[in-house]
Amino acid sequence: MKRLPAAVSWRLFPVLGLALFGAALVLIPLLATVWLSFIGGSPGQPQYTLENYANALTDPFGYRVLLNTSLLAVGSTVIAIGIGAPLAWAVARTDLPLKHFVTLMMGVILVVPGFIQGIGWAVMLSPTIGLINVLFTQALGFAAPPLNIYTLGGMTVVQGLDLVPPAFFMLLPVLMAMDASLEEAAYLSGAGKMRTFLRINLPLALPAIVASSIYVLVLAATLFEVPVVLGFPERIFVFSTLIYLLITPHVGLPAYGLAGAYGSIIVLVSLLMARHYARVMQQGRRYATITGKGRRAKILSLGKWRSLAVSLAILYLGLALGLPFLTLIYFSLLPFFQVPSWRALESMTIKNYVNLADQSGLDPFINTGLLITMVPLGVVLLSIPISWIVVRSRVPGRFVIDNIAFLPFAVPRIVLAVAILYLGLLTRHLVPIYGTILIIALAHIIMFMSFATRTLNGAMIQIHPDLEEAGRTSGASLVRVLRRVTVPLLKPAVFFAWFWVLLLSLREVTVAVMLSSPDNIVLPVLIFTRWQAGRSHEAAAAAVVFVLIACALLFLLRRRVEQASPTGGVQG
């Protein structure tokens, strides 16, 4: 591909400056995490020590947390891939009815925070207030509640259900794009559908399955949302909730140094997994199935298995979203806990919704609106220069900038939040964003830059550089060429990145909880704080409002998303 001259011209400085600024935003909190791990004492009065690592590596409790994290991550990944891969194959390759509905509902589950599903399952299966458990004990005469969601197994199932959409959307484009020639050759040789699937389709899709498994494993090992809802009541800790406990102790000062040590260890492991993920993606090119002479693989008839396939798809959607959401609607309309009955229906009220508005006011909604306005705009404005420098220029070290932009993918969000929290506390007099919505927006911009740069890199490669050079030849500056030529050609990819960053920023809970203050409460934090304070009915009301807002945003712009991405997929 034709590139610009190797010399770094002064004309590149505005674009290069923005790209370097974006890379610096990523690097500073990562370096701060390592720095933090060597600090003892309180913020502002550091004492450098190795004691934090000694405590982290020798504490038996840490190894128990490591075991819990490993079991949760592996179990969640098995569930997510075990459900997501067959569903993606059914939507992409078979005559499964309701394909568009299934894909749309996957998008809804993707934008609903996992802790909302966790709250829904807690309301159903808590050993004390769980609706299903109470029905078992009262109606069927059980001596004790038969089910308990507050276990490692319960956490694993709920988190696994929540992680199905990322696996589904990563595998869907691969399965849809398979060339029919190899498959048809197998059929002509006498192979049946099952043998063709095992010998042709599965090996071709295997790199994508492995890559999506690694991606989901990284997410599952670092997520905070489900473990904090379902693990805290029984003191079942994973690394994310352990770090949260260290930073928000009930007694004493926050242990920033120890949290930094645990965070540095997690980051190292995550980076190793991310490196393996990138290697698998590169090796997967050997299994390319789209060629100039390729044909779209034919749609397979499910035949007698159609009813079963539809039933299983609906069962998953019901367990992942339908049942928890209906439970939250019911719970939000009750003045106090009651099992379903005519008396309960007669006592329903919207008081919890009114209380929510009266006590919280409009601040959470205003802050949420500001967040989802600033974050996508900031991410796109920084990602376009980074992608242009990486794809178009010959600036020395450009691929280093690209790798730095990808780092947030491998960094647990709670670790990033702790570093930004500490930096914000130290610099609050110089840069007064501590405790404001701006510090949450900054953290989100850093987190989601990896998603946007990967989206824009692929799109920019497809634009021939001669179009930009024509603008430069006519005397236009590089910034003007980007604004008038490159960005309009990138419009579908830019919109795709902008929209999904908006939804991801809306649903993000971990960073908002860690960086929250009375002045920057957003909707996910409102739900979380109500639940933690024991005001479960108000938490359910806030959760219902949030899901309705998320669904409205998704439905309103659904057509534009489909135009930006023909497969409707999202990777990140």
Q: What 3 state SS string does 473-500 have? A: HCCCCHHHHHHHHHHHHCHHHHHHHHHH
From CA 18, how far away is CA 381, in angstroms rounded? Answer: 8
Q: Which helix (H) or strand (E) holds 283?
A: helix 256-283
State which H helix or E strand residue 513 sits in.
helix 510-514
Return the structure tokens found at 315. Answer: 């069962």
Rounded-to-integer distance, Cα 180 and Cα 294, Å: 7
Predicted pLDDT at 15: 79
- Looking at residue 50, its amino acid is L
Q: Using an 8 Å Cβ cutoff, are 15 and 388 in contact?
A: yes
Quick check: 384 and 482 in contact, CB under 8 A? yes
- pTM of structure: 0.83
Question: Cα(311)–Cα(543) distance, rounded to whole angstroms?
Answer: 27
Q: What's the CA gap between 175 and 88, in Å, rounded? A: 7
Give 118's contacts (C-beta < 8 A, 6+ positions apart).
158, 225, 226, 229, 230
Residue 158's pLDDT is 95
List of residues 6+ apart from 484 with CB closer than 8 A = 471, 476
Rounded CA-CA distance 233/424 in Å is 31
Q: Which CATH code, of 3.30.450.20, 3.20.20.70, 1.10.3720.10, 1.25.40.80, is assigned to 11-282+311-564?
A: 1.10.3720.10
pLDDT tens across the length of the chain (572 residues): 444 444 445 567 777 888 889 889 989 998 888 888 888 765 556 677 888 888 888 889 989 999 999 999 999 999 999 999 889 888 888 888 888 889 889 988 988 888 899 999 999 998 887 888 888 787 677 777 778 899 999 999 999 999 999 889 888 877 776 666 666 666 667 666 667 666 666 777 777 788 788 888 888 888 899 999 999 888 999 999 999 988 888 777 788 888 888 888 888 887 777 776 666 655 554 544 444 444 555 677 777 888 888 999 999 999 999 999 999 999 999 888 877 778 888 888 898 898 887 777 888 999 999 999 999 999 999 988 888 888 877 778 778 888 888 888 778 888 889 899 989 888 888 888 988 999 999 999 999 988 888 778 777 776 667 666 666 666 666 777 777 777 777 787 788 888 889 988 998 988 999 998 888 899 999 999 899 888 889 999 999 999 999 888 888 876 665 655 544 443 33
- pLDDT value for 281: 56
3-state DSSP helix/strand/coil % of the chain, to nearest 5: 75, 0, 25
Please give the backbone phi and psi of residue 468, each rounded to the nearest 5 degrees, phi first: -75, -40
- What is the distance between the alpha carbons of residues 116 and 524, in angstroms, rounded to a whole number? 9
Sign of the Cα torsion 161, 166, 169, 170 reads: negative
Provide the residue ranges of all domains of the chain, joining segments of one domain with +: 11-282+311-564
pLDDT at 439: 94
Q: Which residues contact 42 (CB under 8 A, 6 or more apart)?
A: 253
Q: How many residues does the chain have?
A: 572
Task: Say what the alpha-carbon torsion angle 241, 246, 249, 255 is, to the nearest 10 degrees.
Answer: -170
- How many other CB atoms are found less than 10 A from the CB of residue 345? 12
Report yes or no: 76 and 220 within 8 Å, Cβ to Cβ. yes
Distances (CA, A) of 564 to 53, 329, 388, 516, 558: 46, 33, 20, 34, 10
The secondary structure element, H or E, covering residue 39 is strand 39-40
Contact 442, 423 (CB under 8 A): no
CA separation for the pair 180, 185 (Å, rounded): 9
Other Cβ atoms less than 10 A from the Cβ of 31: the count is 11
